Each structure stands twice: as structure tokens, then as C-alpha cells.
Amino acid sequence: MAEDAPLPSEEELREALGKVGVADILVNALSAAASIGFHRVSAEARDLEQVRLAIESLRALDPVLREAGVGEAIVRDLEQARTNLQLAYAKAVAEEPPADE
């Protein structure tokens, strides 16, 4: 961000907030959760509990997004991300060495 750029006024911020809906925030949050899930399934950053949380979040909020009238293409993209993340999770679980008993 350029140092010379003026900060928005309080009125401009209120106006911008008035245009944002909860569904918009949920879509952005789920997109971020999917991205983090894919990062956490990688061998370098593996954290399968975080991946599972991302998958379950995507699954739980799917009907909420549909009910809120989020576009079918967006919901479908999030479903595809969840499916791909589930497949990556299953592969990562299969690669884990068995736990010592």
C-alpha cells in the first residue's frame, strides 16, 4: 500500500460494510480454509487435524450457503475443493506410519 494513499473515512468504511453480506464473508472464509487445508496436507506442513477441520467446515456450511442464495457455481467450486481435499487427506493418512501401540 502506498504511503501517500489516503485512508478511507469513517463514512466510506460504513458504506463499504453496508455492501458486504455474511454469505460473502463465509465464501471468503471457506476459500481460505480450503487453501490452508491444502497447505496443511502437504508433507512439509502436515497437520491432519487442521485438514479435517477445513473439510468439516466446508461440509457443514454447504447447506447454509445454498440457503443464503450463493451462486451455484461458487457452491460447486467449494464442493470440488472439499472433495479434492478429502482425497488428499485420505492419501496423507495412508502415507502415515502406523502408530506404535
Residue type, 50: Q
Over the stretch 12-52, which tens digit does the pLDDT of each residue have? 889 988 888 999 999 999 999 999 999 999 999 999 999 99
Structure confidence at residue 4 as a pLDDT band (50, 70, 90): confident
Residue 23 domain flag:
no
Residue 21 domain flag:
no
Tell me how many domains the chain contains: 1
Residue 100 domain flag:
no
Buried b vs exposed e over 71-89: b needs ≥16 C-beta within 10 Å?
eeeebeebeebbeebbebb
Residue 50 domain flag:
yes
On the question of pLDDT at 5 being above 70, the answer is yes
Cβ neighbors of 51 (< 8 A, separation 6 or more) are 37, 40, 41, 85, 88, 89, 92
Residue 83 domain flag:
yes
Residue 62 domain flag:
yes
Domain of 62 in residue numbering reads as 29-94
Structure confidence at residue 100 as a pLDDT band (50, 70, 90): low
